[in-house]
Structure 1
Amino acid sequence: MSPAAAAPSRLGRFRAALSESPPLLWAFVYFFCLLSGYYVLRPVREAMVASSDIEAVFPHAMVAFFAGRGVALGEFTLQVIFTAVFAIMLLLQPVYGWLVSRFPRRVFLPAIYGFFIGTLLLFYLMFDSGVAGRGLAFILWITVFNLFAVAVFWSFMADVFDNAQARRFYGYIGAAGTLGAFLGPMLTKALVKQVGIANMMLVSAVLLSACVVCILKLRAWAVLRERERRLASGEVPMGGKFLAGLKLVAREPLLRWLALVVIAGVGVGTLLYNEQNAIARTAFATAAERADYFATLDLAVNSLTLLVQLFATRPLLSRFGIAPALLIPGFAIIVGFSVLAASPLPLMVAVVQVVTRASEFSLAKPARETIYTRVGREWRYKAGAAIDTVIYRGADLGFVWLHKLLSAFGSSAVFGAGLLVATGMTVGVLRLLREEAKLPSERGAGGAVEDAPASPA
């Protein structure tokens, strides 16, 4: 079939999917606005992290404190940031667990996004008035926001869609996010030099407000699915202990392998991220130039992601299940890191970064999320969130310090270690697939697959 004929065919399938499942449109808008809101701000964060001016990130008093003890804080920028993020995640995880245990879905979902919108308005005031330390506070905030907001999104989608629908629709939903991730950097490139960084906070706040509207609209379909299939209702608090998520990960083999795959994926991404920031720090003189560079890189990632989502994600998931979508990124990363270990050229680092992130967003992430449609709500909202926040950032922390050690031996040592991690990730995927095959298939309205994997914690 020619591309011209294929495009209408894909559009027709998308229209048919919207007719079959009305909540798909609201899920589409939700993820579009969520990633637009994040990607408006991501280039700002990257520009700050890669800044050669250390006081653009850390407060003067903090820089002076470390300097007085013989420590050049600028040499440990990423290590300090990642350590602080992990500490924040440890503090927030029990708060999040308490929130989802004690309040129904209609309360905790809007509350989470309302918190992020409120803090964005606070950052607008901080950047507009030039408050010292705003750079570090913003970097920590957006890193926490990205993980919690996206984790909550996918947990909610597993309330709305069953496993068969997820395999058909998650590709479309992922593509919506990619389109939003296109819009965000484009807005930043178009506006940041004219209106300044402070006003980009307001743009993001408006987009997140649209997410709250989508949550309110989608809740009715989540309730309907739970009633039809006689599943545990999200309209009542799920109960359980606030640390049940971490306990589930420690106890259940499926969740342990999921966590291992995420840890390895974070490892290869962190090693690449550190090399990329080192390049940007020396190549660009101003924050605006670095923001423009990272926006361009994000556009490249999102272009490749969208192509894969349009042509491969839905067919792979609906016809062959999650195995190809999980294994293909692993093999691609192994090839990329093999090339970098042999010849770590700056351009090749950027290329592998694009391929790595695009394959994670377009294939691996949607595939992993379909697993949560076949398990209980505590697995989704607590264990899934624990993996995507505390465990994710714990891996970040470990690998950012590992990079600091390996970078003393040169880029080839960094990418050689990354090759080992990528190989371990592929082995982990194979074990994950074995555990996933043991899950019961989602049954019809009389089934209660949600009741099978449950936590007593």
Structure 2
Amino acid sequence: MSQSNDDAPESIEDHPHVKRAVLWATAWFFCILFGYMVVRPIRETMGTTVGSDGLRNLMWITFVVMIIAVPSYAWLVKRMPRRWLVRTVFHIFTACLVAFYFAMQSDWEPARVMTSYGFFVWVNVFSLYTTSVFWSVLADLFSHQQGKRLFGLIAAGGTSGAISGSFLTSRIASLIGTHQLILITIASIQVGLWCAWRLERQMAIDRRSSDEELESDSIGDRELSDDQLTTEPANSESDQPNVDASLWSGVIEVARSPYLAAICLFLFFFQTFGTQLYFQQADIVSATLTTKEAKTEFFANLDLGAQVLTLVLQTLISGFVLRRLGVSVALVALPLASLVVFTSLSLHPSLWVLGISMIVVRGMSYGLTVPAREVLFTVVSKNQKYKSKNFIDTVLMRGADAISSAGFTQLKNLQIPTAQVNLFALPLVALWAIVAWRLGQLQKKKSQTL
């Protein structure tokens, strides 16, 4: 019985083994983001306890740690088998969480301060490593054609996990205490590891079945689909450019390209104003809410609102905006919203105005700006993309956090009211909007020459 190349593409249901693998992958990603969104509000709460100088120090420490963490992860990937990489990374994070769980219950003030610092930085590294490990594993296990069909579905499972984690934390933080939430993340990591084991086991069974099927079928007996014939992993050497993706090579690439430099300028503004909002969040929450549990619930509700808005924008709005209105409109939306946000916080810096502002800014960031940012890199070569993104995601983004935190702290030390700082920022936000629009036009012009 033959199958024509003109037949319709296979659906997930046509291959039960693929469907089971997708379910295990989706469950794993659900657990990762569920666990992350449980501990993220704890990090935000700890950020409110260290003051402006402490936040500035945390930004600089995070900057240094991330510069070390990214090449360290790349070194591990090259030298450790995938199966052991997954187990090693997730068991190390579990051990760290156990240590934090006991440290948070200490009555010794210096230990509690150091725990706050360590946990704040650790959550950033946790987010980076766990998602990187997850997607690298999937790139190894699924072919390119499978990835195009299935990765969106798997990513939606992760978003569901993030929403569920935020919702649960917002409901139980006051009931069980902040430090008890860590136990939930520990359990989530371990359940995710089990799902990862089942995923690899399922794909191994699939490979054995495929090998046996290929041996039993005679040539020309039937034509196989692209997915069945593809044994090369999605990140094979034929598809991944053999380039030097060091941080220094990224600096050189950005310096050579005005287009990449414009992307960096846009993202520098993005991070700078995000940090300004983050400092105001810490000040307003500290002045309004008194207990750790109340702060954690508030931050969990912010996460929940931002995730829901992100989901709505990603599924209903971003595709329409990018296709019909263009990249410029998608990029300029957040700067325009930030003009309203900073004006509102200048006039009425209350907890409710802050909450709405943070939900809008974060939802638009992930729902519109991030998809538009990825489109910006579709008009550059693979070499430029791999080199520049490594630099942008570490040095530029975390460096912008550190530099802007130092500037904001200095303004506070000069006793300049936050309302005035927000008003002074408005012309710079307007400049950011102009940069965003021009960057979108540059992308459009470059896309027409491809």
Question: Could you say whether these structures have the same fold, taking a TM-score greater than 0.5 normalized by the shorter chain as the test?
Answer: yes
Question: After the TM superposition, which of the residue ranges 245-254 and 180-189 deviates more from structure 2?
Answer: 245-254
- C-alpha distance in 2 between matches for 1:181 and 1:242: 31
User: How much does 1:41 deviate?
Assistant: 0.8
The DSSP-based 3-state class of the residue aligned with 2:239 is coil
Note closer, same or farther for the CA distance 1:345–1:357 as it changes in structure 2 (3 Å cut): same
- Superposed displacement of residue 424, structure 1: 3.1
Matched letter for residue 302 of structure 1:
Q
The alpha-carbon deviation at position 226 of structure 1 amounts to: 7.8
Which amino acid in the other structure matches residue 119 of structure 2?
Answer: F
Residue 92 to residue 245, structure 1, CA distance change in 2 (3 Å): farther
Letter of the 1:242 partner, please give it.
Answer: S
Of 123-132 and 259-268, the range deviating more from structure 2: 123-132
Taking the aligned partners of 1:218 and 1:378, their CA distance within structure 2 comes to 31
* Partner of residue 183, structure 1: 164
Quick one: which amino acid aligns to residue 124 of structure 1?
V
Matched residue, 2:422: 415
- Which secondary structure does the structure 2 equivalent of 1:361 belong to? helix
Whole-Å separation in 2 of the counterparts to 1:343 and 1:137: 34
Secondary structure of the corresponding residue to residue 285 of structure 1: coil
Quick one: distance in 1 between partners of 2:157 and 2:310? 11
Two-structure CA RMSD over aligned residues (Å): 4.4
2:125 corresponds to 1:144:
yes
Partner residue in 2 for 1:48: 46
Distance 2:417 2:391 in 1: 34
Compared with structure 1, are the counterparts of its residues 239 and 89 closer, same or farther at alpha carbon in structure 2 (3 Å cutoff)? same
Residue 380 of structure 1: how far off its partner (Å): 4.8
Query: What percent identity do the matched residue pairs reach?
Result: 28
Distance in 2, Cα, partners of 1:229 & 1:136: 36
Q: 1:111-154, CA deviations, whole angstroms, 9 ceiling, x for partnerless residues?
A: 37842542232221342364733322111111233345557778
Q: Residue 200 of structure 1 aligns with which residue?
A: 184
Q: 1:428 corresponds to which residue?
A: 435
2:238 pairs with 1:232:
yes
Structure 1: how far apart are the matches of 2:234 and 2:127?
A: 33
Measure how far apart 1:402 and its partner are.
Answer: 1.8
Is the 2:63–2:398 contact (alpha carbons within 8 Å) kept by the matching residues of 1?
A: yes
Q: Does 1:127 align with 2:101?
A: yes
Deviation (angstroms), 1:79 = 1.1
Query: Would you say the 8 A contact 1:178–1:306 is kept in 2?
Result: yes
- Given candidates 35, 46, 52, the residue that maps to 2:33 is 35
| 1:127 partner amino acid | Y
Residue 204 of structure 1, CA deviation: 4.2
Q: Secondary structure at the match of 2:238?
A: coil
Q: Contact 1:316–1:324 (CA<8 Å) still a contact in 2?
A: yes
What's the offset of the Cα at 1:238? 3.7
Match status 1:95 vs 2:72: yes
1:118 maps to 2:92: yes
Contact 2:29 2:192 in 1 (8 A): no
CA shift in 2, pair 1:226/1:276, >3 Å: same
Whether the aligned pair in 2 keeps the contact of 1:271 and 1:399 (CA below 8 Å) is yes
Q: Which residue number corresponds to residue 62 of structure 2?
A: 85
Bigger mean CA offset, 210-219 vs 144-153:
210-219
Pair 1:392–1:209, CA change in 2 (3 A): farther
Provide closer, same or farther for how the CA distance between residues 423 and 265 of structure 1 changes in structure 2, counting only shifts above 3 A. Answer: same
- Answering whether residue 260 of structure 2 is matched by residue 252 of structure 1, we say no
> CA offsets, 1:401-427, max 9 Å, x none?
222233321122221244234323323
CA distance in 2, matches of 1:213, 1:315: 38
Q: Could you tell me how far apart the structure 2 residues matched to 1:154 and 1:282 are?
A: 40
2:212 aligned partner: none
- Change in 2 beyond 3 A, CA 1:79/1:228: closer
Aligned pair partner of 1:290 in 295, 300, 313? 295
Question: What are the within-5 Å matches in structure 2 for residues 335-350 of structure 1?
Answer: 335-350=340-355
Q: Which has the larger radius of gyration?
A: 2
Indicate if the aligned counterparts of 2:36 and 2:185 stay in contact, CA closer than 8 A.
Answer: no
Alpha-carbon distance in structure 2 between the residues aligned to 1:260 and 1:149: 28
Describe the shift of the 1:284–1:227 C-alpha distance in structure 2 as closer, same or farther (beyond 3 A). Answer: closer
What are the within-5 Å matches in structure 2 for residues 262-301 of structure 1? Answer: 262-301=267-306
For residues 379 and 208 of structure 1, do their structure 2 counterparts lie closer, same or farther at Cα, with a shift above 3 Å needed? Answer: farther
Q: Secondary structure, in 3 states, of the residue corresponding to 1:232? A: coil
**1:359 CA drift (Å):** 0.1
Which deviates more from structure 2 when the two are superposed, residues 279-288 or residues 368-377? Answer: 368-377
Instruction: Tell me, in whole angstroms, the C-alpha distance in 2 between the residues paired with 1:318 and 1:211.
Output: 36
Alpha carbons of structure 1 residues 197 and 343: separation in structure 2 relative to 1, 3 Å: closer
Partner residue of 2:246 out of 242, 246, 250: 242
Structure 1 residues 186 and 350, CA gap change in structure 2 (3 angstroms): closer
Aligned to 1:454: none
Amino acid at match of 1:49: G
- 1:342/1:135 Cα in 2 relative to 1: closer, same or farther (>3 Å)? closer
Name the structure 2 match of 1:65: none
Structure 1: 5+ residue runs without aligned partners? 1-14, 55-73, 443-448, 450-457
Matched residue, 2:318: 313
C-alpha spacing 1:405/1:281, structure 2 compared with 1 (3 Å): same
Q: Given the superposition, is the C-alpha separation of residues 373 and 169 from structure 1 closer, same or farther in structure 2, using an over 3 Å criterion?
A: farther
Name the aligned partner's letter for residue 78 of structure 1: L
Does the C-alpha gap of structure 1 residues 152 and 433 become closer, same or farther in structure 2, counting only changes over 3 Å? farther
Q: Tell me what 1:355 maps to.
A: 360
CA gap of 1:310–1:144, structure 2 versus 1, over 3 A, is: same
1:94–1:113 CA distance, 2 compared to 1 (3 A): same
Give yes or no for contact 1:151–1:388 (8 Å, CA) kept in 2. Answer: no
- In structure 2, C-alpha distance between the alignment counterparts of 1:169 and 1:422, rounded to whole Å: 38
SS of equivalent to 1:409: coil
Give the number of equivalent residue pairs.
400
Change in Cα spacing, 1:394 to 1:230, as seen in structure 2 (3 Å) is: closer
Residue type of the partner of 2:102?
Answer: D
CA–CA separation in structure 2 for the residues paired with 1:264 and 1:409: 21
When residues 242 and 310 of structure 1 are mapped into structure 2, their CA distance, relative to the original with a 3 A threshold, is closer
Structure 1 position 162, deviation (Å): 8.5
- CA–CA distance in structure 2, aligned partners of residues 413 and 404 of structure 1: 14
Deviation at 1:398, TM superposition (A): 1.3
Task: Please give the residue correspondences for 1:351-390 in structure 2 after superposition, counting only pairs within 5 Å.
Answer: 351-372=356-377, 379-390=384-395
